[in-house]
Amino acid sequence: MEQLIFSLNATIPVFLVMVVGYILKNVHMVDESFVKTLNAFNFKVTLPILLFRDISESDFYSVWDTRYVLYCFLVTLICILFIWGGAALLYKDKAHLGEFVQASYRSSAAVLGIAFIQNIYGTAGMAPLMIIGTVPLYNVAAVLILSFTGPNAGSLDKASLKNSLKGIATNPIIWGILLGIIASACKLQLPSIPSKVLGSLASLATPLALIGLGAGFEGKKALKQLLPTSIASCIKLVILPLLFLPLAIHMGFTQEKLVAILIMLGSPTTVSCYIMAKNMGHEGTLTSSAVVATTFFSSITITAFLFVLRGMGLI
């Protein structure tokens, strides 16, 4: 019972805040313009500040783990290649192949990942190191996959690849992590007033991000592309964690590191998948359906995985 309560306390509050955002949108207290602005504010301001603060206040030399970052990178790369190769052989609807692959591997590592870990441990924990190992690869792989598949498939979309690399280089979340690492390595101590200001902004990150995610939720789209959506959701939420969590445990990763790996493997498909798919000429229906489905069902699957890991004494 203790393990179940721990698991529910880790996940249910996160999803209830998302429900609040969904309700606010449906009672017209917020609109699409507000959600767009809120998401931009979270992405450019509050999340980077949260990551900077948590990392800068930690001991970089004791937190950094090259083996852990490499694990996150290599497992993500294996997942992408495995899903892309398998889908290319078995998936009949080639027009939606790129959307299927992207929706099956790309996690909401920054928003929901930080929310879950912070809800359990009170800080971003090992999420920054996991983000370093995965998010740049997510973006580059998505450009390649969407360029070589779909309605306008042909050669590599060099403009999209260039924009993706530029986006990685200017990504506020990546910069928040890097500046936090530098501050921690230099043992920088901020004065009291700036520290409190950053703390206030950082405290907004998780609730505002979850409200924005919930307010952007479109349930009707999940009814379209039902079969591929179900398969992609199963891969994203169940198969990838079952395949690679045992390896992480075998390698000795526990506590915050293991929770971050669970989020990397089994968190919902990120909303940015839909934005990228649409911008690169894909229909977007399958992607949006996968985002909705994985967001809903992850409340069950992540709770179940946390329950098992807690019962094994690993978190």
Range ranked top by mean pLDDT from 10-14, 42-46, 72-76: 72-76
As a whole number, mean pLDDT of residues 9-22 equals: 78
DSSP readout, 79-93? HHHHHHHHHHHH---
Provide the Cα torsion 147, 152, 154, 157; round to 10°.
-40
pLDDT tens track for 154-192: 555 566 667 667 766 777 877 887 888 788 778 888 888
Least confident of 58-72, 255-269, 298-312: 58-72
Domain extent, residue 263, equals 2-311
The per-residue pLDDT for 119 is 73
At residue 118, does pLDDT exceed 90?
no
Residue 220: CB atoms within 10 A of its CB come to: 9
Supply the CATH number for residue 76's domain.
Answer: 1.20.1530.20
Residues 78 and 139 sit within 8 Å (Cβ to Cβ): no
- Does the reported pTM lie above 0.95? no
Report how many domains make up the chain. Answer: 1
Per DSSP, what are the bridge partners of residue 269? 107
